[in-house]
Amino acid sequence: MLEVGTKAPDFTLLNQNGEEVSLSQFQGQKVILYFYPKDNTPGCTKQACGFASLYPDFTQKGAAIIGISKDSVKSHKKFEEKYQLPFTLLSDPDLIAIQAYDVWKEKNMYGKKVMGVVRTTYLIDENGMIEKAYTKVKAAQNPSDMLEVLSQ
């Protein structure tokens, strides 16, 4: 996990519409940058839908939400449409941002060790600095926790 108080690594990835999006485009506003394992899985769906339901509150506080997984642009588009997600989903099949943010880790899946994305959320400030960092995030609780952090 990256340290609080350090510069958030910039990246450019494709969003669910196949458009390039860079973290640096969000300079001047807070960003909730969350990494999740896979589209359309129970935990990831709860997390995404939680962010979607609270989206007006995040925008009112001037914060952008960006979700990143290694799923394809096509998978992200289906996920967005199925759940009417109003925020950016970025596809990172080459693990560019995933590795830059140190969320590609060894995990235990059914007794086997595999590499995968560890659910992690970063709050990045208006100047591109990491303000908060959370690992072992509880998917369903994460959106309301992040809104609370923004309200402090």
Residue 11: name the closest of 66, 81, 63 by CA. Answer: 66
The architecture (CATH level 2) of 12-151 comes to: 3-Layer(aba) Sandwich (3.40)
Structure tokens at 2: 């990256």
Burial string for 92-126 (b: 16+ CB within 10 Å, else e) reads beeebbbebbbbbeeeeeeeeeeebbbbbbbbbee
Residue 35: what pLDDT?
97
* pLDDT value at 141 more than 80: yes
Range 107-130 average pLDDT: 92
Residues designated catalytic: 44
Q: Please, what is the average pLDDT of the chain?
A: 95
Chain segment 13-64, per-residue pLDDT in tens: 999 999 999 999 999 999 999 999 999 999 999 999 999 999 999 999 999 9
